[in-house]
Amino acid sequence: MHIVDRRLNPGGKSFANRQRFLRRAKDMVQRAVRESTKDRGIGDLDQAGEVTIPVDDIREPTLRRAGSGGKRDIVLPGNRQYVEGDQIERPPSGEGKGNGREGGGGDSEDAFRFVLTREEFLNIFLDDLELPDLAKRRMAVTETHGIRRAGYTTSGSPANLALGRTLQISMSRRIAMKRPKSSELEALEAELKALEAEGGAPEAIQALKDEIETQNRRRARIPYLDPLDLRYRRYEPFPKPIAQAVMFCLMDVSGSMSEHMKDLAKRFYMLLHVFLARRYKHVDVVFIRHTDKAKEVDEETFFRGTETGGTMVSSAFVEMKRIVEERYDPTIWNIYAAQASDGDNMSSDAERTMRLLRDDILPVCQYFAYLQVGDPGGHMGFMQHQGDTTLWRTYMTLQRAGTKFEMRRVQRREDIYPVFRQLFQKRDAAEGASP
């Protein structure tokens, strides 16, 4: 008899099968994931979760008899009351007829529930989204090189001399060529001295002298350090991708922004953060809120705190520009910005906002998304309904100018994700879709 402990075998044996299954059911899982995100709170957006999909495409059909029809015999255990010849009223459905194998089995399974891991959930959730201009950035980034060690070379600048390696090689050469060690030589000298002191035989002294002579010649011929031994540290440049991103959240917190609007904005920022975190090793988030003055705050204050005042969007841009200059060098940071606002802005500020955005903000950003939030099905004024707010009008000109800048309107919670998708869907798909 053998006992085999299989517990240590690598787990995830069915991983390949699971991947095949998810691929097979991809469309349906995607739909289910999107549905389920509607009900999820902001906090657990990127958690593992259960999804339910219809069994349509993952059905495994076999030739089997229908659940009903035809004359059937069923033998059941546990008779208490019936005697031969009794008539029993037919139960309403196939169910309850008893025999699970023949009674109503099979037809009822129209939904399939299972659990997706966090990784799978996000993968599917963000599957066909692409960071804007990511490809371009990647190529641009290749130009910034890092330098890393890459073994040794026989030539190089003295500053790069690899001392340890050089001595190692010199030592092996010395051993191979039998270069006498200084300790051996000293021993011989000492022996000679002792011999001379006690007045030994002259032949012996002469022999010893000859020996020392030979050894000294050997030492002179075989150098301690030969140019052949020299080794230099080799360096090679390598492309260093920028694996860090910073996300600027700009939000108008003036009195006209309702809680609902802030919630919409928050959801959008959440999505953006999850999205960026998938692509970059390190994502910083900077929250800038503004009324007529802008200020960098922490997350809590950003969403909770209220402030009164007028609205000057340009102030936020000034603040953002300052922070970028101070902390986020555009050559090593990927900069994303998302602005949420109800669209109010002082008309006197339009010109300045425009200039700042065009000349200072957009050039350093990978992407700038403007999200105009409104109340749900709100009885908004005519102007707002058209989206024709001050800010919207200001930005309209920009949108035509470049692709880095996108703007959308959102009013209801469930619109957030579609809008997000529109903004970030893969470029080629977007181009194909738009006329």
Partner 1 sequence: MTVQLQTGRLLFEGNDWDFATIQRIHDAVAEIAEKDLKLDTFPNQIEIITAEQMLDAYASTGMPLFYKHWSFGKHFAQHEAVYRKGLMGLAYEIVINSNPCISYIMEENTATMQTLVIAHAAFGHNHFFKNNYLFNQWTDPDGILDYLTFAKGYVSSCEERYGQPAVERVLDAAHALMPQGVHRYPRKKPLNLKSEEKRERERAELQERMYDDLWRTVPNAKDGGKARQLRDDKRRALLELPQENLLYFLEKTAPRLAPWQREILRIVRNISQYFYPQMQTKVMNEGCATYTHYRIMNILHQRGQISDGSYLEFLTSHTNVVRQPVFEDPYYNGINPYALGFDMMSDIERIATDPTDEDRAWFPDLAGRGDPMEQLKEIWRNYRDESFIAQFLSPNLIRKWRLFHIEDNPDEPNLSVNAIHDDRGYRNLRRLLARQHDTAWLSPDIQVVDVDLEGTRRLVVHHKVLRNMLLQPEDTARVLQHLADLWSYDVVLREVDFTTDAVLKEHHAKARPGIFA
Does 363 bind partner 1 (CB under 8 A)? Our answer is no
- Cα torsion 90, 93, 98, 99: sign: positive
**CB 102 to partner 1: min, Å:** 8
**CB 432 to partner 1: min, Å:** 23
Does 54 bind partner 1 (CB under 8 A)? Our answer is no
**CB 245 to partner 1: min, Å:** 34
98 vs 310 by CB, closer to partner 1? 98
Structure tokens at 148: 């890393």
Give, as ranges, the residues between 90 and 119 that touch partner 1 (CB under 8 A).
Answer: 90, 97-101, 106-107, 112-115
The 234-273 contact track toward partner 1, x by CB under 8 A, reads ----------------------------------------
- # chain residues binding partner 1, by CB under 8 A: 65
Does 4 bind partner 1 (CB under 8 A)? Our answer is yes
**CB 103 to partner 1: min, Å:** 9
- Strand ranges across the sheet with 367-373: 294-297, 282-290, 244-252, 334-341, 367-373, 405-410
β partners of residue 410? 373
Does 158 bind partner 1 (CB under 8 A)? Our answer is no
87 vs 183 by CB, closer to partner 1? 87
31 vs 421 by CB, closer to partner 1? 31
Does 5 bind partner 1 (CB under 8 A)? Our answer is yes
51 vs 246 by CB, closer to partner 1? 51
Structure tokens at 129: 């989204």
74 vs 396 by CB, closer to partner 1? 74
Checking phi first, is residue 29 left (phi over 0); if not, alpha (psi -120 to 50) or beta? alpha
Structure tokens at 185: 């030589």
Compute CA distances 117 → 20, 49, 129, 324, whole Å.
15, 7, 19, 36
| DSSP category for residue 161 | B
Contacting partner 1 (CB under 8 A), which of 41, 61, 158, 202? 61
**CB 115 to partner 1: min, Å:** 5
**CB 426 to partner 1: min, Å:** 22
Does 139 bind partner 1 (CB under 8 A)? Our answer is no
Locate tokens 């031994």: which residue?
229
- Cα torsion 41, 44, 45, 50: sign: negative
β partners of residue 245? 283, 334
Compute CA distances 28 → 59, 104, 173, whole Å.
13, 26, 70
Residue 334 burial class via C-beta count within 10 angstroms: exposed 0-12, middle 13-18, buried 19 and up: buried
Does 26 bind partner 1 (CB under 8 A)? Our answer is no
Stretch that binds partner 1, among 22-30, 39-47, 391-399, 408-416 (CB under 8 A): 22-30
The 75-94 contact track toward partner 1, x by CB under 8 A, reads xxxxxx-xxxxxxxxx----
Compute CA distances 26 → 20, 40, 54, 112, 269, whole Å.
10, 21, 12, 14, 26
User: Which helix (H) or strand (E) is 153 found in, with range?
Assistant: strand 145-153
| DSSP category for residue 361 | I
d(Cα 154, Cα 105) in Å, to the nearest integer?
Answer: 78
Stretch that binds partner 1, among 56-64, 187-195, 231-239, 400-408 (CB under 8 A): 56-64
Residues at the site binding partner 1, with contacts judged by CB under 8 A: 1-7, 9, 11, 13-14, 16-25, 50, 58-80, 82-90, 97-101, 106-107, 112-115
